A and B are shown apart, each in its own frame.
Chain A
Amino acid sequence: MKFRLPLMFAFALALLLPGVAVQSNEIASSEDGKYFDADDNPTYKIGEDGTVDWFTYSGFRRYHSECHVCHGPDALGSSFAPGLAESLNTMDYEGFLEVVINGREKVGASDNSKMPSFGVNRNVICYLDDIYVYLKARSDGALDRGRPRKKEAKSDATREEENECLAD
């Protein structure tokens, strides 16, 4: 009896949170070269010939500039920090934003790891969706290691948004 309530609660939570279930990457909508799933979270698009959307490509670049020095190449992890392709199996879009913006700390007897807050870093904050969809594509096994060979063009709207974000 005592255990029923929390169990039911957990079950309900799983239904409510889109990130808990394995994402099938169905593209529900798109705008200016950016793709979204049914929950309106950003997602990747990879064509049959391997062409990736601009944001996945941009995320590859930003990841390997900002994140790679701790989390290792191709989101595979390192001796210093976890592999994010793995982490995104259990972390949804909101959870991702939470950790990148606010950071996270595990410091104890056997652990000395700390994810910094990137909340004020424009090289990260202006590219949160880019990095997320790249990691999601890696996490879902939709994108191989290395540099995506073909990409969709960067839209004018994206260019404008980027300039605005970097400028203020």
Chain B
Amino acid sequence: MKRTLKYSGVVLASALLASAAASASDELLNMQKNADDWVMPTGNYANQRYSELDQINKDNVGDLNVAWTFSTGVLRGHEGGPLVIGDTMYVHTPFPNIVYALDLNDDGRIIWKYEPKQDPDTIPVMCCDTVNRGVAYGDGKIILHQADTSVVALNAKTGAVEWKVANGDPKMGETGTAAPMVVKDKVLIGISGGEFGVRGSMTAYNIKDGSRVWRAYSMGPDSDILVDPEKTTHLGEPVGKDSGTNTWEGDQWKIGGGTTWGWFAYDAELDLVYYGTGNPSTWNPAQRPGDNRWSMAIFARNPDTGMAKWVYQMTPHDEWDFDGVNEMILSDQEVGGQMRKLLVHFDRNGFGYSLDRDNGQLLVAEKFDPVVNWATHVDLKTGRPQVVAKYSTDQNGEDVNTTGVCPAALGSKDQQPAAFSPKSGLHYVPTNHVCMDYEPFRVSYTAGQPYVGATLSMYPGPDGDHMGNFIAWDATEGKIVWSKKEKFSVWSGALATAGDVVFYGTLEGYLKAVDSKTGDELYKFKTPSGIIGNVTTYMQGGKQYIAILSGVGGWAGIGLAAGLTDPNAGLGAVGGYAALSNYTALGGQLTVFAVD
């Protein structure tokens, strides 16, 4: 009797699982429309980071107050932001990658906590801090992408491990920092380690059991990079045979970089996922002649097979470390009198690109910081930037210090995601206003060891008095609408809301609210540590909240802690050279705000 019952229970359970599989994609497609929740790190599949909530608006945001706070118990850089699903908030931390489920009905009581055991050897192979950009939800699970590349599915209710797979090998310099994205019944996982000669890839795992469905490398043979030489296009033309190897010399593609540590997007109607690839390895361009395809590129792929529909390379043969991993923001806007399904991408290289996301046609490419000087413009037909010889570290050659390149290697914008308001039609972009000297030189490759090959020093843009701007951008014309100076690079993800307010954080630790139309500052509050996290909003018990992770670190914390190099100044540098360590210190904390 007992036996029969048990058996029928199993049948019932698997029947339930089967029905869940069929609806896994619909589940998230619907959930992302509920403005009360924040169900994926990017806000929605379109990466807009926009909320329909308007209880907090430009008239009352000045009355914002801290509602509650939560210490994560971890130092180091806190990137990304929490998820909110119903009455539960999921908060993640940098290494050791703790995940907390907090009860929003009970002042953030800890429902469960998951702390993985990871080999500390992973810490030093994480270039630029042990950051993690967040967890994803799907099919009743919380997906954690650990520093050591383990992908773990946790039961969203209990925190119990449901499955676990290794996406890479930290001993080879492969690490995990990017937030996963759940698309249909798959989990998309990127990889980090461009400064360790890792060959980048995107991998899809089955959300049911963690089995691998496909992996698409950024470079290599056609079968590795999942392109169809005839059907996959680059600006409308077929990419042709061997496009992932024929712009590399010898076997350099095997340690070619092109890692995938940014944000992913999905268009359910076109059934395409979008993401960018990072810098080619090494930073010394002389060691890798050719365009180095498909580093520095945007891929549009079928989520079920991984097959690429189109690809576009922003920076062929990178000479400055301008990774192409920044987020892809999907919107529908009119360009040149024609409605377009747009993909808008603010690249590290300082150009804001608007493409037709259906076919990859390049529509707009303009500088989103006027000081960008390494290229005069981007040819919309060929897609190629017109490189200025003076700033070409390749043309100047090995062992030559190329000076005055704008932007610096950290880009006019790094991973910190921009927001798009369908209401205003504008993008709100956190930017860096920093330039550099860059000297490439020869390096040898050792597996699992840094593989950089350039020396660089950074300093503020030519005006010299600030290192960041928060801007509003019209992607249909490629124009800055307004620009607000910040002392430090703006390294926090933005949030736009229907309340005509835009939120972002600063490296000193301020959470700021500005008017979406004018950029006028409406509110600021200094949190305990510098902000490199992304602003989140949600509604709980009829009240709108704003949440932000503090915890200075990341590349910003490394590059800016001591202040930028000013060879002409003595001690106590000020203005654009100010040392971040004089403004803030380490410490992970979540701060949640509300209007009383």
Contacts and interface: CB of A to CB of B under 8 A. Distances in A.
B457 A72 contact: no
Interface in B108-135: 120-121, 123-125, 127-130
A102 interface: no
A122 interface: yes
Interface string B437-455: 1010101101001111111
Contacts of A40: none
A105 B122 CA distance: 11
B449 to A, nearest CB: 4
B566 A145 contact: yes
Most buried by A among B444, B450, B559: B450
Question: For A64, A72, A123, which residue has the most chain B Cβ atoms within 10 angstroms?
Answer: A123
Contact of A145 (B74, B446, B455, B567): B567
B456 interface: yes
A115 B124 contact: yes
A65 B454 contact: yes
Interface stretch (B4-12, B177-185, B232-240, B550-558): B550-558
Interface string B363-380: 000000000000000000
Interface in B141-155: none
Contact of B457 (A118, A120, A147): A147
A161 interface: no
B403 to A, nearest CB: 9
Nearest to A65: B452
A73 B129 contact: no
B501 interface: no
Interface string A55-97: 0000011101110111011101111110100000000000000
Contacts of A105: 120
Interface string B533-561: 00000000000000000001110011101
B401 interface: yes
Contact of B562 (A65, A73, A114): A73
A147 B562 CA distance: 16
Interface residues of A, number: 40
A25 B562 CA distance: 26
A148 B561 CA distance: 22
A72 B556 CA distance: 10
A80 B557 contact: yes
A166 interface: yes
Nearest to A72: B562
B77 interface: yes
B102 to A, nearest CB: 21
B562 A118 contact: no
Nearest to A85: B562
A72 B559 contact: yes
Contacts of A121: 446, 449-450
Given A64-B457, A122-B446, A144-B567, A78 B557 contact: yes
B428 interface: no
Contacts of B441: 61, 65
Nearest to B447: A120
A146 B195 CA distance: 23
Nearest to A104: B124
B95 interface: yes
A72 B455 CA distance: 12
Contact of B127 (A69, A111, A113, A147): A69
A24 interface: no
B325 interface: no
B450 A66 contact: yes
Interface centre among A64, A77, A78, A122 (most CB of B within 10 A): A78
Interface in B450-470: 450-458
B586 interface: yes
Contact of B456 (A64, A70, A111): A64
A43 B369 CA distance: 44
Contacts of B121: 114, 116
A147 B75 contact: no
B75 A110 contact: yes
Interface string A31-72: 000000000000000000000000000001110111011101
A77 B579 CA distance: 11
Nearest to B568: A146
Of the candidates B443, B452, B562, B586, the one having the most CB atoms from chain A within 10 angstroms of its own CB is: B562
Contacts of A110: 75
Contacts of A69: 127-128, 195, 450, 452, 558
B450 A114 contact: no
Contacts of B446: 120-123
B129 A79 contact: yes
Given A70-B124, A105-B120, A114-B121, A80 B566 contact: no
Contacts of B559: 72-73, 78
A105 B123 CA distance: 10
Interface string A113-145: 111101011111000000000000000000011
Given A61-B441, A112-B130, A115-B124, A79 B449 contact: no
Which of B449, B554, B563 has the largest number of chain A CB atoms within 10 A?
A: B449
A121 B453 CA distance: 13
Given A77-B562, A78-B562, A123 B129 contact: no
B457 A70 contact: no
Contacts of A145: 565-567
Contacts of A7: none
Contact of B120 (A64, A114, A146): A114
Contacts of A107: 120, 123
Interface in B571-590: 580-581, 586
A112 B115 CA distance: 14
A66 B76 contact: no
Contact of B561 (A66, A77, A116, A124): A77
B562 A74 contact: yes
Interface of A: 60-62, 64-66, 68-70, 72-74, 76-81, 83, 103, 105, 107, 110-116, 118, 120-124, 144-147, 166
18 contacts: A60-B455, A62-B455, A64-B456, A65-B283, A69-B450, A72-B562, A73-B457, A74-B562, A78-B561, A79-B581, A80-B129, A81-B558, A112-B74, A112-B75, A112-B76, A115-B124, A116-B121, A147-B437
Interface of B: 74-77, 95-96, 120-121, 123-125, 127-130, 195, 283, 401, 437, 439, 441, 443-444, 446, 449-458, 552-554, 557-559, 561-567, 580-581, 586
- The 5 A-B residue pairs with the shortest CB-CB distance in the complex, in nearest-first order: A79-B557, A76-B562, A116-B124, A146-B567, A78-B558
